[in-house]
Structure 1
């Protein structure tokens, strides 16, 4: 798949099809982008599970933090990655090792790893790179009133 440009429908479908999101690289620091995006996703009704080995067992925005994806007891629909591009492959490998791999892996603004994306897509996982759900959600779904 060409990740230089996405059809709006593709991105909207990802956002509409997921309920539980693992946020890898979650930060307890309110000034960090991951903290703001986590708050945004929670406000939109998503269940967000923060993943950060250094914060495991603590809470961020009232949600229990896990050290890695394998520790999360629930099925994850999407992984939102706030890590540098060179760490994405290990996140994808961790995701593929889960009993129930996610439907989607989302890489935040500035994060791109085409090899990792190919590996995820080969396993049937949708990938969005270099985008932010807190920007895409209002743009694509914000005008809908349910």
Structure 2
């Protein structure tokens, strides 16, 4: 199972990844689901928001339209970052596994963990990081 916890592995993911799809992106600037992806955008990552409620309102984020599902992205992404409660993570598994190509990493933000989903993703060759903040890790290690 490829579930990363070692800081050297976290750094490698942060350095090698160039694009991030953010499930649960939020337009409110005070919410982590907005300011974390905004920070990543400022650091040079291509960031794509995924939120069905926003897609229907034709909202844009970081120069890209917010889409309702990963299937609607027309570009490959390196990381799928999840900003949903732990009990909602499984709902996104089919969407993640239907991506072509598959993302290299699925990153469950701080406070979010689902070991069963992590095992299924890992079995498909996807690296999983759980219960960690991309912004905090980027600031700390890079």
| Both structures adopt the same fold (TM-score exceeding 0.5) | yes
What is the CA–CA distance in structure 1 between the aligned matches of 2:18 and 2:53, rounded to whole Å? 25
Matches within 5 A, 1:62-101: 62-101=63-102
Aligned-pair distance for 1:93? 2.2
**Residue 15 of structure 1: aligned partner:** 14
Note if 1:24 corresponds to 2:28.
Answer: no
Q: Which is bigger in relative contact order (C-alpha 8 A, separation at least 6)?
A: 2
TM-score, with structure 2 as normaliser: 0.93
What is the CA–CA distance in structure 2 between the aligned matches of 1:2 and 1:125, rounded to whole Å? 7
Is the Cα–Cα contact under 8 Å of residues 27 and 60 in structure 1 kept in the other structure?
no
Aligned-pair distance for 1:2? 8.4
Aligned residues: 140
Is the Cα–Cα contact under 8 Å of residues 27 and 34 in structure 1 kept in the other structure?
yes
What is the CA–CA distance in structure 1 between the aligned matches of 2:26 and 2:43, rounded to whole Å? 19
Q: Deviations over 1:95-136 (max 9, x none)?
A: 111121100000011100000000000000000000001000
Note if 1:49 corresponds to 2:51.
Answer: no
Aligned-pair RMSD on alpha carbons? 1.5
Is the Cα–Cα contact under 8 Å of residues 21 and 49 in structure 2 kept in the other structure?
yes
Is the Cα–Cα contact under 8 Å of residues 48 and 62 in structure 2 kept in the other structure?
no
What is the CA–CA distance in structure 1 between the aligned matches of 2:18 and 2:8, rounded to whole Å? 18
What is the CA–CA distance in structure 2 between the aligned matches of 1:96 and 1:8, rounded to whole Å? 26
Aligned-pair distance for 1:138? 1.2
Unaligned runs of 5+ in 2: none
- Structure 1 runs of 4+ aligned residues shifted over 6 Å read none
Q: Deviations over 1:79-107 (max 9, x none)?
A: 01000111112222211111211000000
TM-score, with structure 1 as normaliser: 0.90
